[in-house]
């Protein structure tokens, strides 16, 4: 129990983990956005057809 408590207050650990957490948040946000087709997201042009 004391080890987990120490980990919660370890600033170096949080500085190492935060970029990973931010990356996971961005990944999850992108999964939630609807896209017409993947190429439309990169080119900005809407696609037509099947």
With the C-alpha atoms ordered 28, 31, 32, 35, is the resulting torsion angle positive or negative?
positive
In angstroms, the CA 26 to CA 20 distance is 10
Count Cα atoms within 13 angstroms, Cβ side, for 32. Answer: 6
For position 23, what pLDDT does the model report?
A: 96
- pLDDT at site 34: 77
Give the total number of structural domains in the chain: 1
Over 80: is that where the pLDDT of 10 sits? yes
**Residue 44 falls within a domain, yes or no?**
no
Residue 39, in any domain of the structure: no
State pTM to two decimals: 0.55
Q: What was the pLDDT predicted at 42?
A: 72
Tokens representing 9? Answer: 């207050």
Residue 18 falls within a domain, yes or no? yes
For 15-50, the pLDDT digits (tens) are 999 999 999 999 999 888 876 676 776 776 766 655
Indicate the SS3 state at residue 37.
coil
């Amino acid at each position: 129990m004391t080890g987990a408590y120490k980990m919660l207050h370890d600033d170096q650990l949080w500085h190492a983990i935060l970029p990973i957490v931010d990356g996971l948040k961005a990944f999850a946000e992108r999964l939630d956005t609807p896209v017409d087709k993947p190429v439309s997201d990169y080119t900005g042009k809407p696609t037509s057809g099947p």
